[in-house]
Structure 1
Amino acid sequence: MPSDLLQLPIVLPAVLVPVDVVAVVLVLLTVVGPRGRSRGTDTPAGPVRHRWDRGLPAVLVRVAALAVGAGIGLVAVWWFGDVRDLFGVSFTPVTRMWVAFTTAAVLLFLVVLVQGGNGRRVVALAAALAVALTAGLGINVDFGAYRTIGEAVTPNPYPTGRLDHQHPARAGAHEVDAATWTAPVGMPRHGRTLAVRIPATVSRFHARRAVVWLPPAAQVADPPTLPVLVVLSGQPGQPSDMFQTGRIGTFLDRYAAAHQGLAPIVVSPDQLGAPERNPMCVDSRRLGRSATYVMTDTVRWIRQHLDVASTRSAWGIGGFSQGATCSMQFSSAHPEVFGATLAISSELAPANGSLEHTVDVGFGGSRRAYDRATPEALLAAHAPYRGHLTVFGYGEDDAPYERSTLALRAASARAGIATTLVVSPGSAHDWNTVRYVLGRGLPTVIAHLGLPVGEVRR
């Protein structure tokens, strides 16, 4: 039964509509439902009956509470999201609406607490909880995050595994000869996703388990040498995000099915250390050596444990949001390692709160060190690049990341990098954008890594 409950979908109308209806009914009952019992107070002139929760005036107060509460929610989103930019994203009108509904229901509950009537108080509490649940489900749909309860409550659902067949990278091999590779009898039909521990031998960075996706061709006894794609989550996030929510394995399974099991091996290390942490993919005393963990510990582990090509033309890196920013930093600073980049909604520069805080915690207070670490500065410092590709993507309704993406694309072009751009229609800074860009951008990246051009869309 618990496993069945975890598989319950939370994005289908069959689930969303009943929850919405219950929330609306409870709010209406709270505002204009049956009258509560009046309370009395003894005075020298006799008992006086108070009717705080009865009559038209009381109903108007509750309606006003809904309006004021909604206004508070909209102002809060504007202040903390737009003015202070505490979340690093521009919220869509849909998300703003759900926040407004929630704060309206909460203020309605507080007003009913004062007005009195125990029955109405219980209904008001139920209404506030129902609206909060409805809002959470609605925001989840808007962000395109979780499809089931299990995805929402399980940060890394993949089994911990060991790579039994270790095939060190073959020097000089930069691509699979797709024309001569023949899928052997008994090759698995689907890719294998597993969680692995990548030791922080050099960096001592406190990383969570990484996630590795092996295409069917990598699971046979004598696998071909394959390209590798390193992918990084956004922040907050975990290594499983690009698989569980971004569904990159689903896209690549479709590609592998059309190409005799061939596809890039995908490795998602933990560049954060914890969902709420943001070490900005740099080495710092206060936030840890995130850059060394990815570029030294992870790169060495891949070369020692996976049969991947050794040349940069077969190595790619990509990510979403903070992970895209990290991808731009790493690919720009290490053109000898990565020949392709997939940057979905990248920031213009690493950021951890305000600029002052970013410089303080990530760069020891040195503004010069911060300036040198921005992707634009790294691109200029390592130009010209030869044989490199960057696929950029962002959501059509994501104005801040549109600006940063276009600026980074221009800087990449000036540095000699070939670029393409994918714009996700009708989406913003969310996982709908990620899946759209993956579906249209992965074929270009895969082709640059040396595999045949092919379809990966769902």
Structure 2
Amino acid sequence: MNVLLDVDITDGPVVVLVYLLAAASFVTLVARRPSARWRRQPWLATATISTLLGGMIGWGLTWLLSDRLDLFDADLTPVVRGWVIACSGALGVAIASLWHPTWPRAIASAAAAALFVGTAAMGVNIDFGQYPTIGSALGITSIDEGLPPLATAGEDAPSIASWQEPEGMPERGRLASVEIPATVSGFVARPAVVYLPPAALVRHPPRLPVLIVMSGQPGSPSDPLLTDHLRDHLDAYAAAHRGLAPIVVSPDQLGSPGTNPLCIDSARAGNSATYLTVDVPRWIRAHLPVTLAAGSWGVGGLSQGGTCASQLGAEHPELFDAILDASGQLHPSLGPDEKTIAEGFGGDAGAFAAAAPSAIMAAHAPYADTIAVFGVGAQDNRFRPGIRTLVSDARAAGMETHYIEVPDTAHDSHAWSAILSRGLVLIADHWGLDR
């Protein structure tokens, strides 16, 4: 069963096989008449017209749902639009072939239609990079529940500079799913996911820096570490630096995939900000071998989580000295500003304006020793201008700023993986883990 769940659905033989089956099904539907009753009718012309009409309907759907209604809060890439149009065109032929069919033809047409939809979904997923395996698409992960046994890092814990990797240290870090109680905030959160580098898994660990990372919305706490490959990047960094890497905690800032609490405390969606800045840090200090003094704590995120990271990192320089914002927005958002103000801020336009990361930066400037890394896909026309504005505003506020623009990506997991990889190195080196 685990072998099946680990099958790659973004590259490799399974993808090629699905594409070939879909192409063969389409050619077969077009090449063979549905039944003898079509002999007097030009089936090839009908199939061509059905394909064109279906493609036009697909194009109309992408325009309506993305360009007109802005249902996805992000621009659809040309690749995604192409898959929707191609799928709709192929479905047009499958539907046309159901006119006066034989039973075998009806079954074959229905099966082909399902294959066309599945193939298009695979193509969209490859472009976006959200689900690398069958298991991830089904929401099934192999993350252990509960922390492994960890040694306490006491006052005699080795420093980062003096750390020497001991014999028997694991080669890779470990993931664990944990419940972080909302003792102060009362925020209803799903289990968090923790990454422990090899240096945290030994008998006498050093105190390590912490990076709190949040998913996009919709999303789950495992997304940054698994879907966006942060775990792999952390393991690679640790392998090159004596087993040292930040401890990463990915808490649930949403409550549920369909909710956006805006990373503020509100009656509408709960005290998300207090959960992330009070409850989560308290749990981390109590359970993990982490740095206790100010500094060497960072906050990051993807899309909605990136917006949260810029908000919280700018608002709490006493807690965080590093910000990693991948494709975040200029301000917390539920869609149009009018809707966000009315529903998210109870109609208080002033509170909405004050919650923007740039406004928070201006209010807390100058920052003494904060590193801020902002990244975006080069084709992400919706979010790229805002990220560039945040770079300028963070620099003006005194932060050490870095801008990452990932070629050939948009608002997708490919961009976020690259941003996390490069941002991790910049922040970890800033914390001295490269020494």
Pair in the same fold by TM > 0.5:
yes
AA of the residue aligned to 2:342: D
**1:155-194 correspondence runs (5 A):** 155-162=140-147, 164-165=149-150, 167=152, 177-194=159-176
**1:285-324 correspondence runs (5 A):** 285-324=267-306
Contact 1:178 1:452 (C-alpha < 8 Å) held by counterparts? no
- Taking structure 1 as reference, are residues 89 and 54 closer, same or farther at Cα in structure 2, changes over 3 Å only? farther
Equivalent of 2:256 in 255, 274, 277: 274
How far 1:185 sits from its partner (Å)? 2.3
2:360 pairs with 1:378:
yes
Alpha-carbon displacement from aligned partner over 1:58-82 (angstroms, at most 9, x marks no partner): 4323321211211221222123213
SS at structure 1 position matched to 2:21: helix
Partner of 2:49: 64
Equivalent of 1:424 in 406, 426, 433: 406
How far 1:158 sits from its partner (Å)? 0.6
Q: Which has the higher mean CA deviation after the structures are superposed, 353-362 or 253-262?
A: 353-362
Equivalent of 2:135 in 136, 140, 150: 150
Partner of 1:140: 125
Partner of 2:242: 260
Alpha-carbon displacement from aligned partner over 1:110-147 (angstroms, at most 9, x marks no partner): 33334544443322212211111111111111112222
2:102 pairs with 1:120:
no
AA of the residue aligned to 1:254: A
- Alpha-carbon separation, structure 2, partners of 1:299 and 1:290: 13
SS at structure 1 position matched to 2:66: helix
How far 1:290 sits from its partner (Å)? 1.2
- Taking structure 1 as reference, are residues 115 and 59 closer, same or farther at Cα in structure 2, changes over 3 Å only? farther
- Alpha-carbon separation, structure 2, partners of 1:17 and 1:56: 35
Contact 1:169 1:306 (C-alpha < 8 Å) held by counterparts? no
Equivalent of 1:233 in 198, 207, 215: 215
Contact 1:168 1:303 (C-alpha < 8 Å) held by counterparts? no
Q: Which has the higher mean CA deviation after the structures are superposed, 83-92 or 256-265?
A: 83-92
Partner of 1:405: 387
Partner of 1:81: 66
2:373 pairs with 1:391:
yes
**RMSD in angstroms over aligned alpha carbons?**
2.1
Equivalent of 2:340 in 358, 365, 370: 358
TM-score (norm 1): 0.90
AA of the residue aligned to 1:99: V
Alpha-carbon displacement from aligned partner over 1:346-366 (angstroms, at most 9, x marks no partner): 111111133222222221121
Q: Which has the higher mean CA deviation after the structures are superposed, 185-194 or 340-349?
A: 185-194
- Taking structure 1 as reference, are residues 103 and 294 closer, same or farther at Cα in structure 2, changes over 3 Å only? same
How far 1:256 sits from its partner (Å)? 1.2
Query: Unaligned regions of 5+ residues in structure 1, if any?
Result: 39-52, 454-458
SS at structure 2 position matched to 1:165: coil
- Alpha-carbon separation, structure 2, partners of 1:239 and 1:230: 11
- Taking structure 1 as reference, are residues 443 and 107 closer, same or farther at Cα in structure 2, changes over 3 Å only? same
Alpha-carbon displacement from aligned partner over 1:245-303 (angstroms, at most 9, x marks no partner): 11112111111122221111100000011122211111121212211111111011111
From the CA coordinates, give the structure whose radius of gyration is larger. 1
Query: Unaligned regions of 5+ residues in structure 2, if any?
Result: none
AA of the residue aligned to 1:141: I
**1:206-225 correspondence runs (5 A):** 206-225=188-207
Alpha-carbon displacement from aligned partner over 1:174-214 (angstroms, at most 9, x marks no partner): xx733311122222221111101101111221111100011
- Alpha-carbon separation, structure 1, partners of 2:102 and 2:140: 42
AA of the residue aligned to 2:114: L
AA of the residue aligned to 2:237: Y
- Alpha-carbon separation, structure 1, partners of 2:255 and 2:227: 19
AA of the residue aligned to 2:326: I
SS at structure 2 position matched to 1:211: strand
Contact 2:153 2:206 (C-alpha < 8 Å) held by counterparts? no
SS at structure 1 position matched to 2:145: coil
Q: Matched residue pairs, number?
A: 435
2:182 pairs with 1:200:
yes
AA of the residue aligned to 2:323: T
SS at structure 2 position matched to 1:87: coil
- Alpha-carbon separation, structure 2, partners of 1:32 and 1:54: 13
- Alpha-carbon separation, structure 1, partners of 2:45 and 2:103: 19
Contact 2:160 2:206 (C-alpha < 8 Å) held by counterparts? no
How far 1:413 sits from its partner (Å)? 1.2
Partner of 1:44: none
- Alpha-carbon separation, structure 2, partners of 1:325 and 1:169: 35
Partner of 2:8: 9
TM-score (norm 2): 0.94
AA of the residue aligned to 1:31: V
- Taking structure 1 as reference, are residues 206 and 54 closer, same or farther at Cα in structure 2, changes over 3 Å only? farther
**1:430-441 correspondence runs (5 A):** 430-441=412-423
SS at structure 1 position matched to 2:224: helix
- Alpha-carbon separation, structure 2, partners of 1:95 and 1:87: 12
- Alpha-carbon separation, structure 1, partners of 2:117 and 2:34: 25
Contact 2:151 2:203 (C-alpha < 8 Å) held by counterparts? no
- Alpha-carbon separation, structure 1, partners of 2:297 and 2:275: 17
- Taking structure 1 as reference, are residues 281 and 34 closer, same or farther at Cα in structure 2, changes over 3 Å only? same
Partner of 1:105: 90
- Alpha-carbon separation, structure 1, partners of 2:257 and 2:140: 10
Contact 1:166 1:304 (C-alpha < 8 Å) held by counterparts? no
SS at structure 2 position matched to 1:230: strand
Partner of 1:32: 31
